[in-house]
């Protein structure tokens, strides 16, 4: 059984009867704090000694939007930022509903890298993907290299094509602002649609698939080709 998706979110105690599920991916330069942000969100922990991510990790976490009484489940890809993994990124954002492009506010180069990611997402990622530009390590504001005004400026330019990008700063170390980011993202996602689609597909409590069963009665979809064949 998969681990219970426990909620650190105090709001989760409220009952909801609507449910939606989204895929989310974190991108960004190595060492900006992607894994730390995710771990803060999912496990509410922070580990100073963590080194790099190998490959990618997949986690889930659920939050509640009290206003709409909806439970939102995030399926999160925490990707490795090291250059050598760059070409694998499309695999993770290809079906993503949202992407966090993370940079470190004390590193200008990481900000530049985050912008590169946004550019790539706009070109290659599914249309309508919700993009969040997140500046981590706000607890190190003394060593800040990226000013919020710069970020504003960049966002204005980047939004000229009609897209909108959420921006925020946070500190995975202290926890400041982390939950808010995910909540904002949730609010920007097409929740209604997802809830509707989910009900139709009977996806409530997704993850309880009949293991090993053959499911009849589904509309057939084009099949995935085996790689490299024909």
Partner 1 sequence: MKDVHPKNPENSDQHETIKFNTSFISPSKLVSGPSISPAKFPSVPTTAVNLENAGSINAADLLPSQSSHTSSTEVPDSSHLRVANNHSSGRFSLASENSYVPSIAGLTSEDEEDDREDNNIETSHNEEEDLQSILNGLIRHENHFNGQISHRNSLSSPRQEISFLDLNIFPNSETVQNGEEYYNKYIRISKDEDEAAFVEKLKHFFILSSAGKPVFSMHGADDIIMGYMGIITTIVSTFEENMKEEIKSITVGDRIKIVAINKNPLILVAVSQISYEMMSFTHNESVEEELHPRPNSLEDHDSDSDDLILINQLNTLYNYLLSILSKPTIEKNFHNRMNYDLRRVLTPLDFHNFEALCLKLTYGLPLLKEGEKISDTSSFDFYIGELLDSSIQSVKIRNTTRNRLNNIFLSCKRIKVKEDDLDSEVNSDSVSFFSKAEDQERYLGEDLLFSFLTTSSNRILSFMKPRNHTLSNEDLKILFSMISSAEMQSGDSEFTEDLWIPLCMPNFNPNGFLYVFVRKFDLSEYVEPRPTVSQPLSIILISSNKNTFFKMREISRYIITKIVKGENSRNNPLSRELLESTKLSILNDIRVPAIKHFIYKLKCSNQFIMNDMVYYNNDRSMNTLLQLVYFYSILHNSKATKIKSKLKATYNHETGLVRQINSSRSESKKLTYTRWNGAGTSVTGFMLSDDVYEFYCLSNEEIGSKDLIANSLKIIQWCEKYRKRLFLGEGVTF
Partner 2 sequence: MSGRKKTLLKVIILGDSGVGKTSLMQQFVNNKFSHQYKATIGADFLTKEITIDSNKQVTLQIWDTAGQERFQSLGVAFYRGADCCVLCYDVTNEKSLNNLTSWKDEFLVQSNVSNPQDFPFIIIGNKIDVDDSKKIPSLQKKLQNITNNQLGGLNYPVFETSAKDAINVESAFEVIAKMALQQEELNDANGNDVSDDYNDAINIHLESESSGCAC
Q: CB of 111 within 8 A of CB of 38? A: no
Sign, Cα dihedral of 207, 76, 127, 134: positive
Minimum Å gap between C-beta 206 and partner 1 is: 7
d(CA 193, CA 171): 32
3-class DSSP state of 109: helix
50 binds, among partner 2, partner 1, none (CB under 5 to 8 A by kind): partner 1
End-to-end CA distance of the chain: give it in Å, rounded.
37
Is residue 220 part of the contact set for partner 2 (CB under 8 A)? no
Give ∠ CA 143-49-91 in degrees, rounded to 5.
90
87 is a site residue for partner 2 (CB under 8 A): yes
Of these, 47, 83, 147, 152, which contacts partner 2 (CB under 8 A)?
A: 83
Angle of helix 34-42 versus helix 178-188 axis, rounded to 10: 80
Q: Beta-carbon neighbour count of residue 95 at 10 Å?
A: 13
Q: Smallest distance from the beta carbon of 145 to partner 2, in angstroms?
A: 10
Q: From partner 2, partner 1, none, which one binds at residue 124 (CB under 5 to 8 Å depending on kind)?
A: none
Rank residues 222 and 228 by Cβ distance to partner 2 and give the closer one. 228
- From the list partner 1, partner 2, none, which binds 86 (C-beta under 5 to 8 Å, kind-based)? partner 2
Chain residues in the site for partner 1 (CB under 8 A): 1-3, 6, 30-31, 35, 39, 42-43, 45, 47, 50-59, 75, 78, 80, 82-85, 88, 91, 94-95, 206-207, 209, 211-212, 214-216, 218-227, 230
Q: What is the token pair recorded at 108?
A: 């200008």
Q: Cα–chain-centroid distance for residue 22?
A: 9
The least distance separating partner 2 from the CB of residue 161, rounded to whole angstroms, comes to: 25
84 binds partner 2 (CB under 8 A): yes
Interface positions with partner 2 (CB under 8 A): 30-31, 83-84, 86-88, 226-230
């Amino acid at each position: 059984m998969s681990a219970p998706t426990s909620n650190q979110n105090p709001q989760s105690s409220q009952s909801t009867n609507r449910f939606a599920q989204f895929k989310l991916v974190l991108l960004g330069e190595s060492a900006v704090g992607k894994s730390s942000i995710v771990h803060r969100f999912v496990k509410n922990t922070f580990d100073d000694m963590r080194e790099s991510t190998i490959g990618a990790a997949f986690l889930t976490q659920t939050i509640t939007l009290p206003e709409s009484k909806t439970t939102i489940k995030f399926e999160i890809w925490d990707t490795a930022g090291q250059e050598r993994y760059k070409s694998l990124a499309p695999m993770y954002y290809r079906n993503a509903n949202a992407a966090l492009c993370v940079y470190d506010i004390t590193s200008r180069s990481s900000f530049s890298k985050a912008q590169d990611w946004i550019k790539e997402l706009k070109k290659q990622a599914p249309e309508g993907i919700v993009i969040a530009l997140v500046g981590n390590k706000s607890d190190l504001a003394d060593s800040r290299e990226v000013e919020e005004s710069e970020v504003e400026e960049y966002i204005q330019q980047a939004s000229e094509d009609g897209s909108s990008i959420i921006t925020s700063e946070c500190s995975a170390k202290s926890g400041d602002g982390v939950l808010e980011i995910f909540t904002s993202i949730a609010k920007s996602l097409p929740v209604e649609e997802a809830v509707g689609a989910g009900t139709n597909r009977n996806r409530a409590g997704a993850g309880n698939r009949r293991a090993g069963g053959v499911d009849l009665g589904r509309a057939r979809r084009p099949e995935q080709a085996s790689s490299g064949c024909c």
